[in-house]
Amino acid sequence: MTDEFITIAKVAKTQGRRGEVAAELFTDFPERFEERRQLWALNQRGERRELQLEDFWPHKGQMVLKFAGIDSINDAELLLRSEIQIPREQRAELEPGAVYVSELLGCAVYDAEREIGTVANVDFSAGEAPLLVVKDGPKEYLIPFVESFLRRVDYAGRRIEMSLPEGMLELDAPLGKQDREQQQAEAAEGGSGKRRRR
């Protein structure tokens, strides 16, 4: 079953000539790669394969991963866009107030009674508060995941209810640079954000 595994990284590109790949991290515990040598790669066709991690190191905001048996650029290309996963029971214990990214993905987001869209990703590059990447067809909204905006979160029911400041959502177009800067400012004023964990 898909929900027996959780994603801790996603392969973004090949790195070097010996089969290394650079991956975007979805975990606050990169040091646990030291003990997590048995990993799984889920490709875009839904096929999962077991991998043995030989080495890892940070590089330009990503994590470079070297797997046993992946020894060339051609081998590494087969892993492009694959999700790097671990069994759900191996995920780290959370501190109070933290939340798993995997529990946010796929949740429907509501502002009062109006459905905005579904969480497709979580952006942690904007500052202290993570931004929910909420998609509704071609439209995309970045919504700060902060306590002051939350009304109710039902992970089992895949539903996040929020009370957003008036004007935060521009329904006519996807978010532009100015909108993102405004949301980041509002997120900073809204208090500390929920932290993600794996």
Decide: 121 and 96 in contact? Cβ < 8 Å.
no
pLDDT of 192: 44
CB-based contact 51:124 (threshold 8 Å): no
- Higher pLDDT: 191 or 95? It is 95
**Over the stretch 111-162, which tens digit does the pLDDT of each residue have?**
988 999 999 888 877 667 788 999 999 999 999 888 889 998 887 788 999 9
pLDDT at 184 exceeding the cut of 50: yes
pLDDT digits (tens, 9 = 90+) for 62-94: 899 999 999 999 999 999 999 999 998 887 666
pTM beyond 0.85, yes or no: no
**Which domains does the chain show, CATH number per domain?**
2-90 (2.40.30.60), 98-197 (2.30.30.240)
